[in-house]
Amino acid sequence: MAVPALYTFSRTLASASSSTPTPKDEPKPTEDAPKRQPPSVLGVKERPIPDRNSWVGRQKQKLQDLTDYDKAFASHVEERRYLVAEATKSYFADAHEMREHNGKLFEASHKLIRAEKALYMPDFEGQNFKKEKIHTSDLLHGKITLMSFVLAQYAEQHVNTFINPFLTAFKDRKDIQLVELNVQENLLKQYLMKALMGTIKKNTPLERQDNYLLLFKDISRLRRYLAMSNQYIGYVFLVDENCKVRWTAHGIATPQEIQNLIGMTKFLADKKAAVEEKFA
């Protein structure tokens, strides 16, 4: 289905820039460039607890964390790793990588991550079209979810290649859902996106509005746990009813990835239903 120009413009304000940077001597797209192996595990080790504190409460918590030596040291080490990685990364690195691999860094795995090995999807606090603060952990709990992340213009067309067949297959299932995150990490463009929320809502399909969240926050630190290294690529995650990441894919969907996504979603939903029936 063709996407209106206004729809594309308004919904992709979450991009770090309106277009991908074009460095000199940029590499030509090639299908033969070596690709990565799909990640074997994604997420965070501890079940995320939504932070419902006020700004004052959050500042108090930060002060308390500073008195916890082990926690403060671990946080310091993680921050140093992040800063070093950012400092050594070229400004055009994401653009080069996307063009070199045609937006496909790896083929998605044909197997689910085992439940006992899987880690948790981090909690993200977003805003829905009613301007209400929503925590993703609240949405994910108890349902099988396809969760998408869009940070740039190119990412919109990527995630839609997964979303459209997913909704077609499961539009009548109440235990299966789609959760979309439109992320704007650029401070200046956050204000523009907030001003155009009405237009974004108007151009978002009605059936996708309830679970469509806008994130006005830099989530680059959390993106590392989900292997979302490239801001110009769209990412999707299959999350089970316990908020655990069981599968991931990115870029333009291949027929095999769509087939795997549908099959894996049915498997998780049927397994969940069987467990609930057993203990009913």
Q: What does 128-146 look like in DSSP terms, one character per residue?
A: -TT--EEEHHHHHTTSEEE
CA 124 – CA 132 distance, rounded (Å): 13
Q: Are 261 and 238 in contact (CB under 8 A)?
A: yes
Q: Are 236 and 162 in contact (CB under 8 A)?
A: yes
Kindly report which listed range (120-124, 151-155, 259-263) carries the lowest average pLDDT score. 151-155
CA 246 – CA 173 distance, rounded (Å): 19
CA 150 – CA 180 distance, rounded (Å): 8
Q: How confident is the model at residue 125 (pLDDT cuts 50, 70, 90)?
A: very high
Which one has a higher pLDDT value, 6 or 230? 230
What are 193's two structure tokens? 């996106």
Mean pLDDT of 109-131: 96
Mean pLDDT of 203-227: 93
Enumerate the domain spans of the chain: 50-88, 91-280
Q: Are 253 and 162 in contact (CB under 8 A)?
A: yes
- The CATH class for the domain spanning 91-280 reads alpha beta
pTM: 0.78
CA 89 – CA 81 distance, rounded (Å): 12
To the nearest whole percent, how much of the chain has pLDDT over 70?
71
pLDDT tens-digit profile of 39-81? 889 999 999 888 776 555 555 555 655 566 555 544 555 555 5
What are 130's two structure tokens? 């009613």
Mean pLDDT of 101-111: 87
